[in-house]
């Protein structure tokens, strides 16, 4: 006989991250689809418990004459100066999302219009991300920020902003570096610094300076790894001293290393909110990558310390340290992609584990799911080839709309840090899809090994604003546990089933 007794359910105030938002991004569903599809997709992610939809505002999609190398004559800082209908898809998103109770996060991204780019064929990455003109970018940001200020044309306000995308990846910003005398000299950090400067000035000019403004959006690996990229972005050496002289000039930093001047010239760098994409691909989120400069969930503390040390180098010490926002993350799966190693069951498990890791870190303010639906294979490539499968199969659903195991696991996460039976088995979970305005309820269920019968152990309740649960249970023998939650319509949803050994 198995004795199972719930020992405690911690109240919301005791939780590590009670205000950690859930973000979902899928541009194919939200900016490259028709109006009805967009509305349906927004409703669906709302039912999954997503707090905020992340959407790319693509510079070249709104800019006039985007394929011309000649700069058009127009007031690029004025949203009314853009072509008719240029903003329609983003107007629809903010309007529909707001009506559904979803918050919006706009990320300002390339491709840039050709007239805002350096001339000539790049040796790294794509032409549409080659040396973008920071002044032009700033005017584009000002136009977007003006339109979504909450006082323009009756449109709702957007208050979350990401500046560029993966600036340490050549596809998004290039050239990343040049070789001088056989030595790599990084170029992308200084280019990105100029983009951040221009964007911050635009936000400050449009009453968005108190919004959540995020630098970073770094790739976990990139052409330049996150740690050296951040150090060069902040113009510090490996010991976190401001660079001076030739070492500074080589990476586009001021030669004098004057702290006060650097802070005054680059205020956007000292807004203590940093966005990150902690991909670990075919590896569980608790397993560090072979290169310690590749920052995943397993060693996220190293990025936190690096950011704190960069701020401290300029005598900036925000209370609680620099906040991290995980703004893109997921696992490609086989099926359908035969070139990855992660199964759909592992995807579901590892998404839950990553959420638990994030929950334990009070500096992480959001988690993210990249893609609702898998990308389709790349058109024009040989069917079945690596190039054909070079898109992202990180969705909660297959491209045909059929849910993966991750779909239910995302709605109702569960994680056991130590899944062995005993007197005090810790069970963590989240009733992500519940109404968080009041007390939320779920059942902790147990199935004894070989019994094929689920039994309710006890009702768990939480008043957490994100639906987090943390409980300890006495489980006297091997078996299985899961969470069960009944939605307002009367349908019961289940978490993953977790084996207890």
DSSP, collapsed to helix, strand or coil, labels residue 444 as: strand
Which domains does the chain show, CATH number per domain? 4-8+418-500 (2.60.40), 31-328 (3.20.20)
pLDDT at residue 2, rounded to an integer:
35
Q: In this prediction, what percent of the chain has a pLDDT beyond 70?
A: 96
DSSP letters for 194-230: HHHHHHHHHHHHTT-TTSEEEEEEEESS-SS-HHHHH
pLDDT at residue 121, rounded to an integer:
84
What pLDDT, in 10s, does the model give residues 468-498? Answer: 999 999 898 999 999 999 999 999 999 999 9
Scan for tokens 């009506």, then name that residue: 99
> Could you give the CA distance from residue 212 to residue 327 in angstroms, rounded to a whole number?
13
How many residues are given for the chain?
Answer: 501
pLDDT at residue 13, rounded to an integer:
39
pLDDT at residue 17, rounded to an integer:
57
Structure tokens at 240: 């976190």
DSSP letter (8 states) at residue 178:
E
Pairing of strands 21-25, 52-58: parallel
CB 411 within 8 A of CB 442: no
> Could you give the CA distance from residue 111 to residue 127 in angstroms, rounded to a whole number?
9
Q: What is the pTM of this model?
A: 0.94
What pLDDT, in 10s, does the model give residues 317-341? Answer: 999 999 999 999 999 999 999 999 9
> Could you give the CA distance from residue 374 to residue 337 in angstroms, rounded to a whole number?
10
Q: How confident is the model at residue 6 (pLDDT cuts 50, 70, 90)?
A: very low
What pLDDT, in 10s, does the model give residues 339-365? Answer: 999 999 999 999 999 999 999 999 999
Residue 236 predicted with pLDDT over 50: yes
CB 304 within 8 A of CB 227: no
By CB atoms closer than 10 A (0-12, 13-18, 19+), residue 167 is buried
pLDDT at residue 10, rounded to an integer:
46
By CB atoms closer than 10 A (0-12, 13-18, 19+), residue 415 is buried
Residue 1 predicted with pLDDT over 70: no
Structure tokens at 362: 């009070």
Instruction: Residue 445: name the closest of 490, 485, 489, 404 by CA.
Output: 485
Report residue 44: phi and psi, to 5°: -65, -45
CB 288 within 8 A of CB 298: yes
Mean pLDDT throughout 255-277? 97
CB 341 within 8 A of CB 282: yes
DSSP, collapsed to helix, strand or coil, labels residue 341 as: coil
What pLDDT, in 10s, does the model give residues 43-78? Answer: 999 999 999 999 999 999 999 999 999 999 999 999
CB 444 within 8 A of CB 427: yes
Pairing of strands 212-219, 273-277: parallel
pLDDT at residue 228, rounded to an integer:
96
Question: Which range, of 257-271, 449-463, 481-495, averages the lowest pLDDT?
Answer: 449-463
Mean pLDDT throughout 411-426? 96
């Amino acid at each position: 006989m198995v004795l199972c007794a719930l020992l405690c359910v911690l109240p919301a105030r005791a939780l590590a991250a009670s205000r950690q938002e859930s973000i979902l991004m899928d541009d194919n569903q939200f900016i490259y689809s028709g109006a009805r599809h967009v509305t349906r997709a927004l409703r669906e992610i709302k039912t999954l418990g997503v707090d905020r939809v992340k959407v790319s505002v693509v510079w070249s999609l709104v800019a006039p004459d985007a394929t011309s190398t000649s700069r058009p004559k127009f007031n690029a800082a004025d949203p009314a100066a853009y072509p008719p209908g240029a903003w329609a898809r983003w107007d629809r998103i903010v309007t529909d999302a707001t009506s559904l109770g979803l918050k919006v996060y706009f990320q300002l991204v390339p491709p840039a219009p050709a007239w805002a780019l350096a001339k000539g064929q790049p040796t790294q990455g794509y032409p549409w991300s080659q040396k973008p003109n920071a002044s032009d970018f700033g005017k584009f940001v000002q136009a977007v920020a003006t339109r979504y200020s909450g006082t323009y044309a009756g449109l709702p306000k957007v208050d979350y902003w990401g500046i560029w995308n993966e600036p340490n990846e050549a596809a998004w910003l290039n050239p990343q570096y040049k070789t001088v005398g056989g030595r790599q000299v990084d170029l992308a950090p200084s280019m990105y610094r100029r983009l951040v400067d221009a964007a911050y000035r635009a936000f400050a000019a449009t009453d968005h300076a108190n919004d959540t403004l995020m630098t970073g959006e770094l790739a976990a690996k990139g052409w330049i790894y996150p740690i050296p990229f951040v150090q060069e972005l902040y113009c510090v050496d490996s010991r976190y001293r401001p660079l001076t002289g030739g070492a500074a000039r080589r990476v586009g930093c001021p030669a004098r290393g004057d702290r006060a001047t650097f802070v005054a010239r680059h205020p956007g760098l000292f807004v203590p909110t940093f966005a990150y994409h902690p991909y670990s691909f075919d590896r569980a989120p608790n397993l560090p990558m072979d290169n310690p400069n590749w920052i995943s969930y397993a060693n996220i503390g190293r990025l936190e310390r690096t950011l704190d040390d960069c701020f401290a180098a300029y005598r900036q010490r925000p209370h609680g340290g620099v906040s991290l926002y995980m703004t893109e993350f997921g696992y490609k799966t086989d099926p359908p992609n035969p070139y990855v190693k992660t199964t759909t069951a592992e995807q579901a498990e590892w998404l839950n584990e990553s959420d638990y890791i994030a929950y334990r870190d009070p500096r992480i303010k959001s988690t993210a799911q990249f893609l609702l639906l898998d990308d389709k294979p790349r058109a024009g490539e040989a069917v079945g080839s690596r190039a054909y499968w070079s898109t992202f199969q990180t969705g909660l659903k297959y491209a045909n709309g059929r849910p993966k195991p991750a779909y239910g696991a995302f709605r109702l996460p569960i994680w056991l840090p130590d899944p062995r039976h005993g007197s005090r088995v810790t069970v963590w979970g989240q009733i992500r899809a519940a109404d968080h305005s009041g007390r939320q309820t779920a059942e902790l269920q147990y199935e004894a090994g070989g019994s094929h019968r689920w039994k309710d152990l006890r009702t768990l309740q939480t008043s957490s604003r994100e639906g987090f649960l943390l409980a300890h249970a006495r489980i006297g023998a091997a078996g299985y546990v899961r969470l069960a939650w009944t939605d307002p319509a009367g349908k019961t949803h289940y978490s993953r089933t977790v084996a207890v050994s």
